[in-house]
Amino acid sequence: MTQDSKPDAVVERMLFLARQLGSKAPDESRERQFVATLSERMTAHRTQSKRRRQFAALSVFATACLGLLLWFGVRAENRLSYRVSDGALTDGNIVGQASTSVAFSDGSHVELTKGAQARIDEVTAHGARVDLLDGQVSVDIVKAAGNAWFVQAGPYEVRVTGTAFDVRWSKERARFEVDLHRGSVVVTGPHIDGQLRLQPGQRLTSTPDSPSVVTRSEPPGAPLPANSMSNAADVASDSGAPSEGEPVTDLSGASVERRDLAATGSTSWSHWVAQGDFQRVLDAAQKRGLDHVLAIGTQTELAALADAARYGRNTQLARRALLAERRRFPGAAAARGAAFFLGGIEADGSAAALGWYETYLAESPAGPYAPQALGRRMMLVHRRGGAAASAPLAREYLQRFAQGPYASAAHKILERPSE
């Protein structure tokens, strides 16, 4: 018996019972009406059952689709959001007022002193770049795996993971200071050979005409001394043991060159870069002729021109200067380092950026930028191929730079199942 014939059999059975229980001479019209009504109800019942089954199937399908959307949504690395409180905006820059702060969606925040000027750039799922144009910012970054936070102050860059610190930059005096309160930071910039790692309670001070030194910092809120300079021994004793590939610079060596420049009244493009006067370098190169500088300029001039162009956001000129430096001075350490900077100015995530980081690591496997180059290479491979592709690089990173800036990201990659 088919499913469609079952209701008819039920109708016949119920009609038989009605006849048995009713009168011996049933009313045929009433019987026909009873059969029609019962058939209509059975048909309606079948329709409702079918609709319920269809609705249940659609519900299961919709739930599955929603689950997939949520799964992919959780996995997607959305950029952090942020909100500026009590701050004025001028030409895209945040100008500090009485209590200006920038709160990020991961719980990190940046506070600007009154009159300070800063810009929030390069916001990603793991951090952002804060460009400090002038004044002071207090930064408190929530520690998290894969953090990639940077503070740019003139020609200096402070790389952060989970840290609380203050940065002061005077554009007029080209004076740079960092007070570290918690965690650790790595600083790069003019006359710092490689990278300088600070420990809690330390202050780095750098000015154009004085040696860059590390001293003990005052508690937060203490007045800034007029001159926080110290002798070179403070650098070695206070900076702590450097991580592999991140040497602590003997910063006293830079002071000789700077004192000579001040004494003779001479100047140089690298000196202007150290002062944060990038446009002056670019103007001088334009006046001499860019093609002429790229063709016969000294290695120091090419490096200064590349730095000025990078900091001045002239990517095309920076690329030309770095390529000229590599072509004309292939044996120089700075030319090998140019490969790392070329990777940094290429489009984020591009094959060109990945290729330059690989080139730098092949030429300078233990160079000062190796921890950054390998870490960035690892993150680019992970973005392009997932955990399975980047796991070998993550293991290599932890073997070589267990305390490096991308160590937490490497751990996170290895904890994930193969994708």
70-109: burial string, b at 16+ Cβ within 10 Å, e else: eeeeeeeeeebebeeeebeeeeebbbbeeebbbebebebb
- Residue 87 dihedral angles phi and psi, to the nearest 5°: -135, 145
Dist CA 186 CA 268 (whole Å): 27
Q: Are 149 and 133 in contact (CB under 8 A)?
A: no
From residue 184, give the alpha-carbon distance in Å to each of 137, 236, 320: 17, 17, 34
For residue 335, the model assigns a pLDDT of: 84
The per-residue pLDDT for 399 is 93
Residue among 213, 249, 250, 239 at smallest CA distance from 228 = 213
Could you tell me the pTM of the whole model? 0.46
Note the pLDDT of residue 74: 42
> CA quadruple 190, 195, 196, 200: dihedral positive or negative?
positive
Closest CA to 235 of 210, 209, 213: 213
Phi, psi of 34 (to 5 degrees): -60, -45
Query: Per-residue DSSP letters for 199-213?
Result: -TTEEEEEETTEEEE
As to burial, measured by CB atoms within 10 angstroms (0-12 exposed, 13-18 middle, 19+ buried), residue 328 is: middle
Interior angle at CA 291, CA 288 and CA 295, nearest 5: 100
Q: What is the pLDDT along the chain (419 residues), one digit of tens a residue?
A: 455 555 556 556 565 555 555 544 455 665 566 556 656 666 665 666 666 666 565 555 555 555 555 544 444 457 888 888 887 887 778 988 888 989 998 888 899 998 899 999 888 888 888 999 889 999 999 888 778 888 988 888 888 866 888 999 888 778 888 988 888 888 887 766 567 788 888 888 887 766 567 777 655 444 433 333 332 223 222 333 333 333 333 333 333 233 333 332 224 787 787 667 788 899 999 999 999 999 998 888 898 899 888 888 898 999 999 999 999 998 888 888 899 989 988 877 788 999 999 999 999 888 888 888 898 899 999 988 888 899 999 999 999 988 777 888 888 899 875 55
Q: Hey, which bits of 124-188 come out as E strands? A: 129-140, 149-153, 156-160, 164-170, 175-182, 185-188
- Supply the pLDDT for residue 293: 92
CA distance 5 to 23: 28
The secondary structure of residue 251, as a DSSP letter, is: T
pLDDT value at position 407? 84
- How far are the Cα atoms of 53, 139, 346, 349, 380 from residue 167, in angstroms, in the given order? 65, 8, 27, 29, 29
Q: What is the pLDDT of residue 366?
A: 86
Specify the pLDDT at position 191. Answer: 61
Assess contact for 83 and 101: CB atoms under 8 A.
no
Task: Check residue 167 and give its pLDDT.
Answer: 92
Query: What pLDDT does residue 307 have?
Result: 86
Q: Taking the CB of residue 154, how many other CB atoms lie within 10 A of it?
A: 25
Q: Are 384 and 376 in contact (CB under 8 A)?
A: no
